[in-house]
Amino acid sequence: MTKHDYKQNAYYLMYLIRCVLNNKAPAKEKLDKMDLSGVFKVAKGHSLTAIAAYALESAGIYDKDFEEEKNKAIRKTIILDAERENVLAELEKACIWYMPLKGILIKDLYPQIGMRQMGDNNILIDNTRQKDIKEIMLSNGFRVESYNMSKHDVYYKDPVSNFQMHVSLFDKNEKNPRYCYFKEIEKRIISGSNSNYGRAFTDEDFYLYIKAHEYKHYSTGGTGIRSIVDTYMILTHFMNKLNMQYIETECEKLGIAEYEKQSRELAMHLLGGEKLTTGESEMFDYIVFSGTYGNLENSIKNKGGKIQYLFKRFFLTPEMIKQRYPLFYQYKILMPFFPIHRICYALLKKRKKAYNEIVTIIKK
């Protein structure tokens, strides 16, 4: 598929999403122009196959690939919801405060189950109870994928339950305004409903966190079309209830004021069926070719080119080593073996990713 065709299919995908979110069946003349296999490829790359399936169904079209993806999304949502309910019940028993994040909350703004596809359960936790939470996860049949190595611990349970238990909302970096802004968020969160230890953002802080998290991806490897749809769903859900003056002031502190404004206007115009400005079209192009979680080509470009990218990959800051490789940080005598460890880990655990990274760097 050429880049032109990919972009055209992205616009067809947005048309389908606009229809289903506004309770309208896609027009036959539009559907007749679509190459569904091409639209599926774009939807798959942006985790939007389920919502597209719902749109096609409203027009009486039941495509096998889309239907399978929709059914998988529904199944995964049900499993993640059930596992999360069990885990949160255990946190309640242990008197540990927690706060669901990201897709857990956003998915409920969509009109149908599975429509907003889930990758995992993200939960902010009381970081003073990290070890207790590890024991709870293990006792509930999860295995530890990563512990005390970054801003979140990762747990997994077959068949699809991936949990990220966040000890902070952003990687520790005192020079990063997003980290500094959210590092003491527990002082600003409020009690959640129907629980003793559940916590929640205010509506404005919820939106600010979503946009700050989005920007982290957008400014590195890129962020996908799903982020546009999420923004639209949040804004239409809250309508005129958000204090936009507060949000604009806080976005300045976060260093995302321009991004928030542009992405908000893009979402409302694109899903409102309005013509995009030149700037919005350029932003949409960048997002379209990023995929759900960004791509390496964008990362290399956004980090100043191949040399800068390689420098940052090979020479980690002490803070990054402390978070990701605490053993080497604690025992400095092991540092001569650190490069060997990273290479062996990449070859054994991340072989495919490492291969793709090398190929992309060579091509660049």
> How do strand 161-166 and strand 152-157 relate by DSSP bridges?
antiparallel
pLDDT value of residue 298: 59
At 84, the amino acid letter reads R
Contact 294, 223 (CB under 8 A): yes
Catalogue all structural domains in the chain, each as residue range(s) with its CATH number. Answer: 1-62 (no CATH), 76-200 (3.30.460), 202-294 (no CATH), 300-363 (no CATH)
Average pLDDT, the chain: 90
pLDDT one-digit tens code per residue, 304-336: 665 665 556 566 777 667 667 777 777 778 778
pLDDT value of residue 57: 98
pLDDT value of residue 194: 85
Provide the 10 A C-beta neighbour count for residue 208. 24
Higher pLDDT, 255 or 192: 255
Is residue 226 packed enough to be buried (19+ CB in 10 Å), middle (13-18) or exposed (0-12)?
buried
pLDDT one-digit tens code per residue, 115-137: 999 999 999 999 999 999 999 99
Contact 165, 155 (CB under 8 A): yes
pLDDT value of residue 353: 62
pLDDT one-digit tens code per residue, 232-254: 999 999 988 999 999 999 999 99
Place of tokens 């305004």: 177
Higher pLDDT, 299 or 226: 226
What is the rounded distance in angstroms from the CA atom of residue 62 to the CA atom of residue 77?
Answer: 21
Mean pLDDT of 82-97: 98
Q: Is the pLDDT of residue 355 over 60?
A: no
pLDDT one-digit tens code per residue, 10-44: 999 999 999 999 999 999 999 999 999 999 999 99
Supply the DSSP symbol for 198.
B
pLDDT one-digit tens code per residue, 273-283: 999 999 999 99
Q: Which residues pair with 123 in a beta bridge?
A: 100, 165
Higher pLDDT, 56 or 351: 56
pLDDT value of residue 335: 77
E strands, 167-254, where?
190-191, 199-200
Q: How far is CA 251 from CA 102, 181, 255, 261, 287, in A?
A: 18, 10, 6, 9, 21
Rg value, the chain, Cα: 21
| Phi, psi of 123, deg, nearest 5 | -140, 125
pTM for the full predicted model: 0.86
